[in-house]
A = this chain, B = another copy of it.
Amino acid sequence: MTETPKAQPVTPRVRVKRLPDRGSYDRETIESILDEAFICHVGFNSGHGPIVIPTGFGRDGNDLIIHGSAASRMLRDLSNGIDVCVTVTILDGLVLARSAFHHSFNYRSVIIYGKAELITDRDEKMRALEILSEHIIRGRWADVRPPSEKELKGTTVLRLPIDEASAKIRVGPPKDDEEDYSLPVWAGVVPLQTTLGTPIADERNLDGIELRDYFAR
């Protein structure tokens, strides 16, 4: 874990070219998006061309953490230090304009470029897995059986330094052409939220076991 800068360096590939006013290189913004999302999409070149895989992740200061089975093709490819692009997207709303053309989404996304590194040290690996787990459900790690040495060995954990990254964000109402504002069409934003449904207890839970309120935050 290295120190985090206040703002990202704006390298050619992170610079938001299309609609640049939606771009952000502010570190706090980038981290807040990463910390809210459950999954990322990992892009890299396999032997068969580009490939994009969804997966869970965590953040350890300046490092994005991903993991998977040691048997996973993706983890094996990535641990060889090839170029990777990780994208995290949160969809916040449908933007309904008066013209088809100006329809849009409200969203917050982060793109990180770099090369992943294998975490080999046993204790660092255990800590990274705890971070991954806590990213998804804070407080859960302390309640469950921790990984055995065999499970640890069977798990590949990678860190991707968040050194080259940018955010892209759209917020607010639709922006219509001036002459379209007189059209008798409802315009505005329909917010989208990810919500938790009613928990489904496993049939083999012990009697009297309740789900702790991990999600109160």
Task: Tell me how many residues of A have a C-beta within 8 Å of chain B.
Answer: 96
Q: Which of B50, B147, B183, B212 contacts A100 (CB 8 A)?
A: B147
Tell me, rounded to whole Å, the shortest Cβ–Cβ distance linking A18 to chain B. 5
Interface residues of A in 5-59 (CB under 8 A from B): 12-13, 17-18, 38-39, 41-46, 48-54, 56
Tell me the complex Cα distance, A12–B48, Å. Answer: 9
Q: Which of B113, B145, B188 contacts A202 (CB 8 A)?
A: B188
Q: Which of B48, B85, B205 contacts A49 (CB 8 A)?
A: B85
Instruction: State the copy count for this chain.
Output: 2
Tell me, rounded to whole Å, the shortest Cβ–Cβ distance linking A185 to chain B. 6
Q: Which of B39, B137, B141, B182 contacts A91 (CB 8 A)?
A: B39
Q: Which residue of B lies closest to A87 (CB)?
A: B52
Given A100-B129, A195-B192, A209-B186, check contact A43 B38 (CB 8 Å).
Answer: no
Contact between B100 and A145, CB atoms less than 8 A apart: yes
A181-216 interface code vs B (CB 8 A; 1 in, 0 out): 111111111111111111111111110011110010
Given A151-B101, A209-B185, check contact A198 B191 (CB 8 Å).
Answer: yes
